[in-house]
Structure 1
Amino acid sequence: MTGASLIGVLALQGGFRDHLDRLDAIGARTRPVRSPADLADLDGIVIPGGESTTICRLLDAFELREPLTAALATGLPAFGSCAGMIVLADRVLDGRADQRPLAAIPLSVRRNAFGRQSDSFECELEVQGLGGGPFPAAFIRAPAIESIGHGVQVVAQVDGRPVAARTEHVLVTAFHPELTPDDRIHRLFLEMVAEHDRP
């Protein structure tokens, strides 16, 4: 890979600006993704937090579902936070009947697993493979992972409930690393992107 990675951030709804700002700050090149043309030449993509059913509907409205699904199926690295984790999962246990996730990582998720907005919380979270001590994780109407498929590694838990997982190409968190001053999760994703691009 020559130069900084080009990371797209799905910019249809939710907290995409915080991800763009964080990635810019740590040296990545970034691009908001709003159309199929925006997927060209990306080294990785971020699916932000927001409202997962709305994001799924907008993927269809903006004709992004098919090209994004194809890119993910051929190994485009992806990172999803909160709603982004739901969108990247292959099964949503309590989603709407018409909610179709992208099935980029074989796991089942439950929306709002930790309660409503008023039940939001922060905690110091041990994340496997992340050096530097616990990560300050912000949970806002957070989902949780209910089951995982082949090749998925759970890397963080809260009270025994999985809240972060990864495969070789996909990283998902139930929390919002973009809302804290700690940039290690985003740096981990850039490392995954670099590993994918390395011959």
Structure 2
Amino acid sequence: MKIGVLALQGAFREHINMLRTLGAEAVEVRKAEELAELSGLIIPGGESTTITKLLYTFGLAKPVKDLARNGMPVWGTCAGMICLAKELSGDISGVKTLELMDITVRRNAFGRQVDSFEAMLKVKALEGGDFPAVFIRAPLVEKTGQWVEVLAKLPDGTMVAVRENNLLATSFHPELSADNRFHRYFVQMAKDYKP
């Protein structure tokens, strides 16, 4: 089983390292042909305008959409969540998403870099207590479609982790925590995938 991490920009190395600590074969993805034989793909955090432009520029958008629509697990963290969203609210200039997940997302919802924070979250899909979530210029989910499961919310009710079938999205950066449970959860999704 091989899991790809989109390596165009952003926190891809941290995801690769976390996956490898779990024994998963993790590969950097920069070209469409590198998507072959993957059991899952992570779209990391970074700068959403840049990542979305590069997805289309390097011809990755269509094959990623096709694979996701055919059931391959795809996980978007922070900017990756923005990439997966069907709709964006607020300032969306320069961002063309993959329109895969039935969520409406607001970019930079918590403010600027200096407004970054950490929070302990109760996550429905994870055992072992609260999860340490790192939010850096994070988006939030404003609205979900009927088939989207909310996995975690902040204490004020803000949705920050969601799943829709084979699609997973988190507002925060699990790869920046020492806690590997979210990655373990995604590895299991990839193991369950039958192309």
For the aligned pair, the TM-score class normalised by the smaller chain equals over 0.9
4+ residue stretches of structure 1 with deviation over 6 A?
A: none
- Alpha-carbon distance between aligned partners in 2 of 1:50 and 1:151, rounded to the nearest angstrom: 27
Return the offset for 1:95: 4.2
Letter aligned with residue 35 of structure 1: K
Return the offset for 1:129: 2.0
Deviations 1:9-67, CA, capped at 9 Å, x for gaps: 00000010000010011011111110011010100000000001110100121111111
Letter aligned with residue 34 of structure 1: R
Return the offset for 1:79: 0.8
- Alpha-carbon distance between aligned partners in 1 of 2:25 and 2:145, rounded to the nearest angstrom: 32
Return the offset for 1:184: 0.1
Are 1:63 and 2:59 counterparts?
yes
Letter aligned with residue 15 of structure 1: A
**Does 64-73 or 129-138 show the bigger shift?**
64-73
Q: Is the 8 A contact 2:68 2:167 kept in 1?
A: no
Letter aligned with residue 40 of structure 2: G
Give the structure, 1 or 2, with the largest relative contact order (CA under 8 Å, sep 6 or more).
Answer: 2
Unaligned 5+ segments in structure 2 are none
Return the offset for 1:150: 2.4
For residue 165 of structure 2, what is the aligned residue in structure 1? 168
Q: Is the 8 A contact 1:53 1:95 kept in 2?
A: no
**Does 30-39 or 63-72 show the bigger shift?**
63-72
Are 1:129 and 2:104 counterparts?
no
Give the TM-score, by structure 2 length: 0.96
Matched-pair identity in %: 48
Give the alignment partner of residue 19 of structure 1, picking from 10, 15, 22: 15
Mapping of residues 24-35 of structure 1, within 5 Å: 24-35=20-31
- Alpha-carbon distance between aligned partners in 2 of 1:189 and 1:46, rounded to the nearest angstrom: 9
Give the alignment partner of residue 109 of structure 1, picking from 99, 105, 109: 105
Deviations 1:69-124, CA, capped at 9 Å, x for gaps: 11111111011110010001111112434421112211000001111111111111
Give the alignment partner of residue 135 of structure 2, picking from 139, 161, 169: 139
- Alpha-carbon distance between aligned partners in 2 of 1:166 and 1:132, rounded to the nearest angstrom: 19
Return the offset for 1:193: 1.6
Secondary structure of the corresponding residue to residue 193 of structure 2? helix
For residue 73 of structure 2, what is the aligned residue in structure 1? 77
Letter aligned with residue 54 of structure 1: T
Secondary structure of the corresponding residue to residue 58 of structure 1? helix
Return the offset for 1:143: 0.5
Unaligned 5+ segments in structure 1 are none
Q: Is the 8 A contact 1:35 1:64 kept in 2?
A: yes
- Alpha-carbon distance between aligned partners in 1 of 2:87 and 2:193, rounded to the nearest angstrom: 25
- Alpha-carbon distance between aligned partners in 2 of 1:151 and 1:107, rounded to the nearest angstrom: 10
Deviations 1:168-192, CA, capped at 9 Å, x for gaps: 2011100100001000000001111
Give the TM-score, by structure 1 length: 0.94
Give the alignment partner of residue 33 of structure 2, picking from 27, 31, 37: 37
Letter aligned with residue 170 of structure 2: T
Question: How many pairs does the alignment contain?
Answer: 194
Q: Is the 8 A contact 1:117 1:141 kept in 2?
A: yes
Letter aligned with residue 135 of structure 1: F
**Does 65-74 or 171-180 show the bigger shift?**
65-74
